[in-house]
Amino acid sequence: MKNLVNILIGLFLILSTTLTAQNLEFADLLQNINSRQNTSLNGKWDIIVDPLENGYYNHRLLPKDNGYFKNAKMTSPSDLIEYNFDISFQLDVPGDWNTQMDKLYYYEGTVWYKKDFTYHANSDKLAFLYFEAVNYEAIVYLNGERIGSHVGGYTPFQFEVTNKLKEGDNFVVVKVDNKRKKENVPTVNQDWWNYGGITRSVHLITTPKSYIKDYSIQLPKGNTTTIDGWVQVENSKDGDAVTINIPELKKSVNSILKNGIAKFSVKAKPVLWSPYSPKLYEVIIKTPTDKLTDHIGFRTVATDGSKILLNNKPIFLKGISIHEEAPFKTGRVTSKEECKILLKWAKELGCNFIRLAHYPHSETMVREAEKMGFMIWSEIPVYWTVQFDNKDTYANAQNQLTEMISRDKNRAAILLWSMANETPEGEARLSFIADLAKQARKLDNTRLITAALDTQGKGNDGNLIEDPLGTIVDVIGINNYCGWYAGAPETCPDIKWASKYNKPMIMSEVGGGALYGLHGNKNERWTEEYQADVYKKNIEMMRNIKFLAGLSPWILMDFRSSRRPLRRIQDDFNRKGLISEQGMKKQAFYILKDYYNNENN
């Protein structure tokens, strides 16, 4: 008997240790910062443009480091200090620098940002500096002391700064460098503008000493009558209680913390989240010292042969691709209002699905899309020819994937994690993406894994999907530009499609370009009539793809790209939008809208 007890204790310890280890796989990020006490550091930041890296001394080598991060001030009239933030230029945060200052339009290099702020210490609190995104590399200094760095332009990062803050006046300096490098993710070539800067919001967040750091609350795969998950509490004591309360379901669950983790499972029959009923439940998580409120949807997603199942029923994904380009002002999206404009246009189009290309969009965009009932494809920028044989590049990609999943794992609307876009076939690329897929499944075994492949039409002999990536993903994304990059529009309807894989296909990109207001006949490139005809002919083609489970044509709105210089037509914009960046709908918008509203998928 004694042996059996020892075995059971051992098993429990392994389980709880495993659970702890599993949770520690997530990024070091506060979950659901909207629910936190939060001082915004948004607004005007002082800046110094530094193309020659003049302000970044390697302070380990210099006896007296006087890099810009010291924010040094003259103490005597003879002092030589060749910089001064206080009389320097300013930029808005959040925001890219390219569209804020003419002389920074093409700038790729370092800009130093500085912000003064006041803090009143509270011995019962911890304090965190939380950045929603900085493109591309950030080195952060607080009161002249380096506190950390981050690489990757589209995912959040944070630093615990409790003991580095001063009572009263403080200043934070961020060195932002958006230079493209071969080893980066994305690499040096991309078809979108390399907007640099502190492009999303910055927060000073305080928590109790023992605080709810992270949690995952959802339906287990394939199960619609159980809600389970875990809560991670930092600086907690074994045996402390955690309560998870879902008032509308009249469910309140108690669990006990062990090594900082409390698991739970409860029978429940929630109204399932779907585009037709995007139901979110208030979920209140409490510990003896902390409380967080989130709004979580419950649904299941799976595939069955070539079908995508939402809540065990086949659903056709009527989508559109979206870049994080702001309507009207252009540049990076920086506000909830801009997110809502883009989503309103997608709703007008008749969409139930959006592909957030080619990188994780803001948490605001994901939450607003979820409230409006859009299913989401979320993607990391493993785009085109990244260095698949470079282990540091892989580590960077895996880190961005982990940060994306850590931040959004409680967002029911996200059905698909996309590992890559249009990566050239090869052994190194296959194992690179296979490893990313494995990491994604380890962090989240409930969602579908996908990637967009580049398959150009080969004319009438048709397209066979045989990329070995098809063995790794759950859903195969295909980017195909029949009528634009390959073949004339009239060749598209006859193209036959086949697949080696019995898996759903999403036409993740299809379409063509037009300058809003340019008219002519349908064989004249760049006219709205040409673009409309490309859509008509590709819709005819897609009707014959039996294993098509959805589409996200390229793209909702024209977006800025350095690859699109054609004067008077592109003027630095990729014109494949169904809507111009000034909000003007092109003829093709109505072609796709008609297909979505009348397709009986």
Q: Which residues bind to ligand GCU, rule: CB under 6 A? A: 191, 358, 421-422, 479, 509, 554, 574, 576
Q: Which is nearer to ligand GCU, 141 or 554 (CB)?
A: 554
DSSP per residue, 371-434: HHT-EEEEE---BSS--TT-HHHHHHHHHHHHHHHHHHTT-TTEEEEEEEESPPP-HHHHHHHH
Question: Cβ of residue 421: shortest distance to ligand GCU, in angstroms?
Answer: 5
Q: Which is nearer to ligand GCU, 48 or 556 (CB)?
A: 556
Cβ neighbours of 27 (radius 10 Å)? 19
- The answer to whether the peptide bond before residue 94 is cis (omega within 30 degrees of 0) is yes
Residue of closest CB approach to ligand GCU: 191
Q: Which is nearer to ligand GCU, 535 or 554 (CB)?
A: 554
Q: Which is nearer to ligand GCU, 26 or 530 (CB)?
A: 530
* Amino acid in position 351: C
Question: Cβ of residue 465: shortest distance to ligand GCU, in angstroms?
Answer: 16
The residues, any chain, with a CB within 8 Å of residue 91's CB and separated by 6 or more, are: 44, 45, 47, 97, 100, 101, 111, 113, 197
Question: Cβ of residue 210: shortest distance to ligand GCU, in angstroms?
Answer: 45
Pairing relationship of beta strands 226-234 and 548-551 according to DSSP bridges:
unpaired
Question: Cβ of residue 416: shortest distance to ligand GCU, in angstroms?
Answer: 16
CA distance 493 to 283: 49
CA distance 183 to 382: 11
* Amino acid in position 456: Q
Q: Where are the alpha helices (DSSP H) in 409-520?
A: 427-443
CA distance 121 to 89: 30
Q: Which is nearer to ligand GCU, 230 or 554 (CB)?
A: 554
Q: Which is nearer to ligand GCU, 195 or 554 (CB)?
A: 554
Q: Which is nearer to ligand GCU, 69 or 481 (CB)?
A: 481
CA distance 212 to 290: 7
Q: Which is nearer to ligand GCU, 19 or 465 (CB)?
A: 465
Question: Cβ of residue 93: shortest distance to ligand GCU, in angstroms?
Answer: 27
Q: Which is nearer to ligand GCU, 141 or 192 (CB)?
A: 192
H/E element holding 551? strand 548-551
Do 368 and 339 form a contact (C-beta atoms < 8 A)? yes
Angle in degrees, CA 406, 134, 194, rounded to 5? 115
Question: Cβ of residue 191: shortest distance to ligand GCU, in angstroms?
Answer: 4
Q: Which is nearer to ligand GCU, 323 or 537 (CB)?
A: 323
Question: Cβ of residue 357: shortest distance to ligand GCU, in angstroms?
Answer: 7
Do 113 and 125 form a contact (C-beta atoms < 8 A)? no
Question: Cβ of residue 485: shortest distance to ligand GCU, in angstroms?
Answer: 7
Question: Cβ of residue 495: shortest distance to ligand GCU, in angstroms?
Answer: 17
Q: Which is nearer to ligand GCU, 279 or 576 (CB)?
A: 576
CA distance 402 to 214: 14
Q: Which is nearer to ligand GCU, 335 or 456 (CB)?
A: 456
Question: Cβ of residue 170: shortest distance to ligand GCU, in angstroms?
Answer: 41
Question: Cβ of residue 533: shortest distance to ligand GCU, in angstroms?
Answer: 17
CA distance 542 to 569: 29
**In the numeric block, which tokens belong to residue 286?**
């409490």
The counts of H helices and E strands in the chain are 7, 32
DSSP per residue, 25-87: TS-S--S-GGGSEEEE--EEEEEEE-TT-TT---TTT-SS---GGG----SSTT------GGG
Question: Cβ of residue 514: shortest distance to ligand GCU, in angstroms?
Answer: 12
Give the gyration radius of the chain's Cα atoms. 25
CA distance 70 to 65: 8
The residues, any chain, with a CB within 8 Å of residue 39's CB and separated by 6 or more, are: 117, 203, 204, 205, 206
113 SS3 class:
strand
Q: Which is nearer to ligand GCU, 69 or 432 (CB)?
A: 432
562 burial type by CB count under 10 A (0-12 exposed, 13-18 middle, 19+ buried): middle
What are the CA-CA distances from residue 269 to residues 320, 386, 432 (Å)? Answer: 32, 45, 40
Question: Cβ of residue 427: shortest distance to ligand GCU, in angstroms?
Answer: 22
Question: Cβ of residue 211: shortest distance to ligand GCU, in angstroms?
Answer: 40
Straight-line distance from the first to the last Cα atom of the chain, in angstroms, rounded to the nearest whole number: 60
Cβ neighbours of 169 (radius 10 Å)? 10
Q: Which is nearer to ligand GCU, 255 or 574 (CB)?
A: 574
Q: Which is nearer to ligand GCU, 212 or 551 (CB)?
A: 551
Question: Cβ of residue 536: shortest distance to ligand GCU, in angstroms?
Answer: 19
The single-letter DSSP state of residue 219 is: P
521 SS3 class:
coil
